[in-house]
Structure 1
């Protein structure tokens, strides 16, 4: 059959390309195809630096034709539906494609309907996002003349959960150097209850927040954006403590602020209406609300939350043993990052290889490793590495770079982020080499 492949991979992002490259290096199959509609492959981790004016956007892009590993067939098309019972994928233009083994790695999709008003405001005027247009973010940052700078994120899973705060630290540093900071209040509003889930990293970031005099607002779920009036509306995800403690403050009641909601309180304009709190902003950076792509959500391959239902350690689908999934689309309780993919791919390829050769999966297990390089100033970075339990798991190789403790800010970590990681990505990960 012309449209049959032993191994079919959906997605030409980090997970799909690295998986194909590793499978080809193992000479596991001569019949591998990748379904991917995009012409360009992006190295998105550098977009934080693009948004801060310290990295060239063009260097984050390469033609997809150069990225597809030699030996894999590129099907330049969109997957539209699955029929896993019949080992087939329907596409927009190429008809039905069948497979023996399927690797599902299409990444995630943005669903602006989850935060009404955000889609209309996004990437226009003072509303920006490194996730969608980092060049516009840089325009907003460098043209900011003071006022309320609001950094926030939706309550959905997003790529790299640390990204919405990284750009805040860099922007604050830029404004400080350009004498705008004194005329500004910097706010970070999040539905979470802490600045970061790994304790030692959170401790360092709270020191950064203190140094930069940033107001944190916890338990703030972004529910809509009024772009015309420049208001971000929030629902509070926790009841305000009994006894009248409040979220906003007047002159005489600052002592009564509920600390579950506020850290380092700043008086900025807030409107209360219909049980929601509207923070007025002069610039807004956020992440788009994220979901699994539509053809995944509408399939029988997902869990109740709409993400690809795979075993969190083996990456094998819970219902279909010849289907595997990884990357941002997978229902894995860890951060959705390229660093996570770096550790997922060797587990997936080993398990798939054993399944093909011996009809049973291997013994490799993914422990939930992910990492988040948190830039805290131009020239400083903290590297958060953690597993499913949220344990801090620093890579021993960092000692070779003379970095004793990656939970603390270091200039060498900045150099690692800006120069080493892109090299490792393009020259090793994307070529199927373990990093």
Structure 2
């Protein structure tokens, strides 16, 4: 068997998702040569579409394209999995045994979904009653189950701690409730939402819109709570108070029977980052807007997206210990900032750009309307159109943008580094 090959590239990007491909595309547009992406998956997934699939407003195929078809022109692709990084020697070790050395390194492997962190949750997902919009394999099943439900208790959970677009946990719930109302069965279904925070989102203007929809659908909200245990065979679950909000330290426990469980798993930085020396340590104020803990995520200056100890290492997206709420929408600013700063560093120039903490979460609150939340890392409004703060209100216009315009922009512009 031949020995694994080694290679050197000017810029190595770890992760071929939204963050990795869009920043690689931008770097090529800015004249940076020899940019290579390391990504093991054969298919590229557009995760914002998962909520529409789970809610019955999109087909599964709309979220998938072949990875080879979306690699930006002029960017290389190594189809392999990263085992670890040795930043002192500028070396990336791959699962195949190959080693890739780099001039500049961009670390953006995404976030890790920990289905086994809640006892019984993985088992529940294997039953007909367990669904989710956070994995493509579960999203079509979600709509099959939700659309056939005519009575009983349906529980939707949103995890505590860091999560990618945490508010997306609520989207299939609103889509299902609107469908059940159209079918005349909503009154026969008990809908329970478990959220880890004391409000539905954290911005008063958004909370008011969501609270209005919750009241309209008759949804029962368990605030400052999280899913801590599931018994799939008995179809029961346990929720507990979240200590950071309730002061209960997670001691207060309540049991609930369910007919359908739509769950979002706890999430964390990929385990392998801890061994690299790149991770943020406890006490770092970087966070995703949920719990203020960036431990394990890649340490970066939240303004420049450069590593504070390794000047040729950069990070963005869900794996970075930035101060913003983690979302695909946050990458719109992050990719521009990182690409321009990295290009300037290669030219020996001062870093010209600063990330402003922007993030976005479109809440699909009905089958034809969206509440569009744009905000910074302090959860202050950060509208794309500065003079139109009313864009956050429930609107048909933002539904069209979320369901039709943004997916087209993603596949045709964002992944090419053009938006």
Could you say whether these structures have the same fold, taking a TM-score greater than 0.5 normalized by the shorter chain as the test?
yes
Of 17, 25, 38, 1:21 maps to 25
Partner of 1:256: none
More displaced 10-residue stretch of structure 1: 151-160 or 81-90: 151-160
**Post-superposition offset of 1:343:** 1.0
- Following superposition, the deviation at residue 383 of structure 1 comes to 0.5
- Out of 134, 138, 141, the position equivalent to 2:139 is 134
- 1:361, CA displacement in angstroms? 4.1
Q: Does 1:282 align with 2:259?
A: yes
Question: Closer, same or farther in 2 for the Cα pair 1:398/1:230, shift >3 Å?
Answer: farther
State how 1:76-155 maps to structure 2 within 5 Å: 76-132=79-135, 133-155=138-160
Scaled by the length of structure 1, the TM-score of the pair is 0.88
Is 1:389 matched up with 2:378?
yes
Deviation at 1:395, TM superposition (A): 1.1
Match of 2:360 among 371, 374, 391: 371
The reply on whether 1:213 has 2:213 as its aligned counterpart is no
Equivalent residues of 2:153, 2:190 under 8 A apart: yes
Aligned residue-pair number: 399
CA displacement at 1:238 relative to structure 2: 4.7
Preserved CA contact (<8 Å) 1:123 1:136: no
1:169-184 maps to which residues of 2 (within 5 A)?
169-184=174-189
Other-structure match for 1:271: none
Instruction: Give the Å deviation of 1:329.
Output: 0.5
Say whether the 8 Å CA contact 2:39–2:80 is kept in structure 1: yes
Do structure 1's residue 185 and structure 2's residue 190 form an aligned pair?
Answer: yes
Return closer, same or farther for 1:238/1:5 CA change in 2, 3 Å cut-off.
closer
Distance apart, 1:117 and its partner CA: 0.8
After superposition, give the CA deviation of every residue in 1:57-92 in whole Å (9 maximum; x if it has no partner). Answer: 102111000111121111000010110000001001
Shift of 1:298: 2.7
Corresponding position of 2:242: 237
Offset of residue 333 of structure 1: 2.6
* Contact 1:77 1:94 survives alignment (8 Å): no
Farther off after superposition, 211-220 or 370-379: 211-220
Asked if 1:430 is matched to 2:400, the reply is no
- Tell me if 1:226 matches 2:203: no
Unaligned runs of 5+ in 2: 282-294
Matched, 1:55 2:71: no
Instruction: Measure the CA separation in 1 of the matches of 2:14 and 2:234.
Output: 41
Change beyond 3 A, Cα 1:5–1:238 = closer
For residue 303 of structure 1, the aligned residue among 276, 280, 286 is 280
Q: Does the CA-based 8 Å contact 1:352-1:361 persist in structure 2?
A: no
Partner of 2:166: 161
Q: Distance in 1 between matches of 2:97 and 2:7?
A: 9
Deviations for 1:123-142, whole angstroms, at most 9, x for unmatched residues?
53111101112101101111
C-alpha distance in structure 1 between counterparts of 2:133 and 2:116, whole Å: 19
Quote the residue 1:203 is aligned against.
208
Deviation (angstroms), 1:240: 11
Give the secondary-structure state (helix, strand or coil) at the position aligned to 2:62. Answer: helix
C-alpha separation in 1, matches of 2:168 and 2:31: 37
What is the Cα deviation at residue 145 of structure 1?
Answer: 2.3
Query: How far apart in 2 are the matches of 1:121 and 1:39?
Result: 28
TM-score by length of 2: 0.91
Which of 265, 270, 281 is equivalent to 1:293?
270
SS in 1 for 2:299: coil
How much has 1:397 moved relative to structure 2?
Answer: 8.1
SS of match in other structure, 2:166: coil
Cα RMSD over matched residues?
Answer: 2.1
The structural deviation recorded for 1:195 is 0.6
Does 2:388 align with 1:411?
no
Report the 3-state secondary structure (helix = DSSP H, G, I; strand = E; otherwise coil) of the residue aligned with 1:17. Answer: helix
Runs of 5+ in structure 1 lacking a partner? 242-259, 262-273
In the alignment, is the contact (CA less than 8 A) between 1:152 and 1:164 conserved in 2?
Answer: yes
What secondary structure sits across from 1:396 in the alignment? coil
1:204 Cα shift? 1.0
CA contact (8 A) 2:197 2:245 kept: no
- The 3-state SS of whatever aligns with 2:332 is helix
Q: Which residue of 1 aligns with 2:285?
A: none
**Partners of 2:344 and 2:352 within 8 A in 1:** no
Task: Quote the residue 2:335 is aligned against.
Answer: 345
